[in-house]
């Protein structure tokens, strides 16, 4: 049986790092940018645009040219393009899950791949720890330094967008524990260590029925 692991995460909690480390520890594929590339190819949209639709607010971005081309009003065009990108993503996730064991971060993969009975993980952390992680990342990437207030606002905005996207696509509440097998707080345990422990968790076969013991 395929071993699929999906990771939902709060922004700045280290979910992406956990996913990559977990894939490494389990020696399975880690899909991330490949998914965006494949959607872009299939839909003939630019990668940057696909990313916008997938990662930012779902209704805030759309190419005006598409509305004109299709002779739709803007609202309908946004909806149509958004849906087609989601559909392409779902198709691609299923193909990847079919191809090999893998770890997938975000993308409603827990919902899309439900038939594969993935191990569904949610990663979160205290706001202070998330801010600290973001600061380190910002410094490493581009040296940009936001004020604490602006950083906290940004973190909340990204999470709101994720919640909105998840709700739109799955009809479920984002971060609701009932949609996950394991929720881990990275505030007080290194992500590296967590990856080892979850790798052990992932190697446990689920019981046949609902309860074994």
Is 111 a binder of a second copy (CB under 8 A)? Answer: no
Alpha-carbon distance 6 to 118, whole Å?
A: 6
Question: Smallest distance, Å, CB 15 to a second copy?
Answer: 14
What is the end-to-end Cα distance of the chain in Å, rounded?
22
Q: Is the dihedral of CA 117, 10, 55, 137 positive or negative?
A: negative
Tally: H helices and E strands in the chain = 9, 5
CA dist list (Å): 31 to 90, 116, 130, 213: 13, 16, 23, 35
From residue 162 to residue 201, what is the string marking binding to a second copy with x (rule CB under 8 A)? -------------x-xx-xxxxxxxxxxxxxx---x--xx
Q: 25, 53, 126, 174: which one contacts a second copy (CB under 8 A)? A: 126
Cβ proximity of 18 and 25 under 8 Å = no
Nearer to a second copy, 50 or 202 (CB): 202
Nearer to a second copy, 26 or 40 (CB): 26
Taking alpha carbons only, the member of 45, 58, 13, 14 closest to residue 162 is: 58
**Helix (H/G/I), strand (E/B), else coil: 103:** strand
Nearer to a second copy, 75 or 190 (CB): 190
User: Of residues 133-162, which lie at the interface with a second copy (CB under 8 A)?
Assistant: 133, 136
From residue 25 to residue 64, what is the string marking binding to a second copy with x (rule CB under 8 A)? ----------------------------------------
Cβ proximity of 17 and 140 under 8 Å = no
Stretch that binds a second copy, among 23-31, 95-103, 130-138, 145-153 (CB under 8 A): 130-138
Applying CB under 8 A, the site for a second copy has a residue count of 37
Nearer to a second copy, 44 or 115 (CB): 115
């Amino acid at each position: 049986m395929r071993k699929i692991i999906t990771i939902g995460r709060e922004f700045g909690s280290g979910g992406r790092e956990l996913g990559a480390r977990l894939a490494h520890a389990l020696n399975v594929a880690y899909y991330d940018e490949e998914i965006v590339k494949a959607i872009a190819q299939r839909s003939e949209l630019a990668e940057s645009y696909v990313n916008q639709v997938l990662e930012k607010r779902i209704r805030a971005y759309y190419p005006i040219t598409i509305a004109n081309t299709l002779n739709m009003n803007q609202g309908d065009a946004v909806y149509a393009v958004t849906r087609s990108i989601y559909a392409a993503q779902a198709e691609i996730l299923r193909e990847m899950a079919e191809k090999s064991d893998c770890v997938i971060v975000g993308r409603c993969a827990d919902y899309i791949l439900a038939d594969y009975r993935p191990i569904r993980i949610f990663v979160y952390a205290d706001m202070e720890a998330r801010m600290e992680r973001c600061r380190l990342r910002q410094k490493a990437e581009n040296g940009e330094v936001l004020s604490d207030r602006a950083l906290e606002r940004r973190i909340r905005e990204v999470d709101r967008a994720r919640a909105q996207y998840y709700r739109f696509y799955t009809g479920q509440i984002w971060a609701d524990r009932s949609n996950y097998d394991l929720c881990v707080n990275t505030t007080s345990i290194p992500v590296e260590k967590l990856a080892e422990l979850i790798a052990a968790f992932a190697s446990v076969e689920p019981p046949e029925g609902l309860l074994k013991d």
